[in-house]
Amino acid sequence: MSELNGKVALVTGGSRGIGLGIARELAEAGARVAVVGRNAERAAEAASTLPGEGHGGFACDVADAEAVAEMAKAVEAEVGPVDILVNNAGITRDNILMRMKDDEWDDVVNANLKGAFNTTRAVTRGMMKRRDGVILNVSSVVGLMGNAGQANYSASKSGLHGLTKSVARELAPRGVRCNAIAPGFIRTDMTASLTDSQTEALQNQIPLGRLGEPEDIAGVVRFLAGPAARYITGQILAVDGGMVM
Ligand code: NAP
């Protein structure tokens, strides 16, 4: 099935991990995909591995509003007007509250939350004009539950939930849907530094008994981006093996 034939998707953080899984799944569904990351070579390389044609890699730090505006223009010129925006780029800089430095707070909130605001603002005018569009924010179960040592990260992800619901309410009358996916623990570079005993402790908290893979998230993004989800907006969907229920 190629339910996204003719659509253009922009995936931030699409060069690795969950974002690359999402980019691949949307390309398999027929979309042309703009892969965005800070590292130009990695973004271009990821785009070149996607199935189908017309994809492109774009270098941009989503925390930088001017750079995002430029990137959005380049994507529209080279790949096409964006129908599906996936705000997936994200970082962690963990520390306990009493030791957390200003730059650890600012870097995480700017990349994870302001980044999503920057990209959403940059592409929604076109979506509203066409009265069609989908915005998907990749948050985290940590945004629902909190996590010791991740005050900056969990605040940024809870903030994404507020952004998701506000954008959903504001843009629903213009035919644009906005939802969030809250992954649990997924095997990527972000979780690669977990020790075996940390992984085992985590698995014990997951009813389905395993960490997730990028494909576990990508399939849900494909569903939410497509016509089968046309009556869903403003939702936060946990995709976490049952951690939050
Ligand atoms: P990852 O493997 O570390 O990949 C992060 C991606 O984001 C890379 O493509 C990176 O490319 C890009 N990126 C980071 N900062 C950026 C910025 N400022 N501007 C543009 N691109 C940026 O991470 P992941 O595990 O796939 O996580 C993807 C998303 O899922 C994140 O939002 C994360 O918070 C969320 N999540 C992950 C897990 C998990 O267990 N892995 C769980 C819940 C939620 P460059 O380095 O080239 O910029």
Reduced to 3 states (helix: H, G, I; strand: E, B; else coil), residue 73 is helix
> What's the distance, Cα to Cα, between the start and end of the chain in Å?
31
CA distance 118 to 69: 8
16 touches ligand 1 (CB under 6 Å): yes
37 touches ligand 1 (CB under 6 Å): yes
Burial of 99 by CB count in 10 Å (0-12 exposed, 13-18 middle, 19+ buried)?
exposed
CA distance 71 to 67: 6
Which whole number is the average pLDDT over 125-134?
Answer: 97
225-244 pLDDT per residue, tens: 999 999 999 999 999 999 99
Q: Which atom of ligand 1 is nearest to the CA of 214?
A: 26
pLDDT for 229: 98
In 3D space, the residue among 177, 185, 218, 187 whose CA is nearest the CA of residue 203 turns out to be: 185
Ligand 1: centre distance to CA 90 (Å): 4
Reduced to 3 states (helix: H, G, I; strand: E, B; else coil), residue 138 is strand
119 touches ligand 1 (CB under 6 Å): no
Using the CB atoms, write b or e for 146-170: b if 16+ within 10 Å.
eeeebbbbbbbbbbbbebbbebbee
16-69 pLDDT per residue, tens: 999 999 999 999 999 999 999 999 999 999 999 999 999 999 999 999 999 999
**Residue ranges of E strands in 28-132:** 32-37, 56-59, 84-87
DSSP 8-state assignment for residue 99: G
Q: Give the active site residue among 17, 153, 161, 212.
A: 153
CA distance 95 to 244: 23
In 3D space, the residue among 30, 170, 175, 21 whose CA is nearest the CA of residue 86 turns out to be: 21
The 10 Å Cβ neighbour count of residue 205 is 12
17 touches ligand 1 (CB under 6 Å): yes
CA distance 99 to 119: 31
Assigned token pair, 137 = 């924010």
pLDDT band at 1 (very low <50, low <70, confident <90, very high): low
161 touches ligand 1 (CB under 6 Å): no
188 touches ligand 1 (CB under 6 Å): yes
Residue of the nearest CA to atom 33 in ligand 1? 90
CA distance 85 to 33: 10
Q: Which of 60, 91, 137 to mutate to test the pocket of ligand 1 (most atoms within 8 A of CB)?
A: 91
183 touches ligand 1 (CB under 6 Å): yes
Can 231 be counted among the known catalytic residues? Answer: no
Name beta bridge partners: 37.
59
Residue of the nearest CA to atom 16 in ligand 1? 89
CA distance 184 to 142: 8
Burial of 131 by CB count in 10 Å (0-12 exposed, 13-18 middle, 19+ buried)?
exposed
Query: Is 162 a residue whose pLDDT tops 90?
Result: yes
- The radius of gyration computed from the CA coordinates of the chain, to the nearest angstrom, equals 17
Q: Which atom of ligand 1 is nearest to the CA of 20?
A: 9
The 10 Å Cβ neighbour count of residue 173 is 9
166-205 pLDDT per residue, tens: 999 999 999 999 999 999 999 999 999 889 998 999 899 9
Ligand 1: centre distance to CA 52 (Å): 24
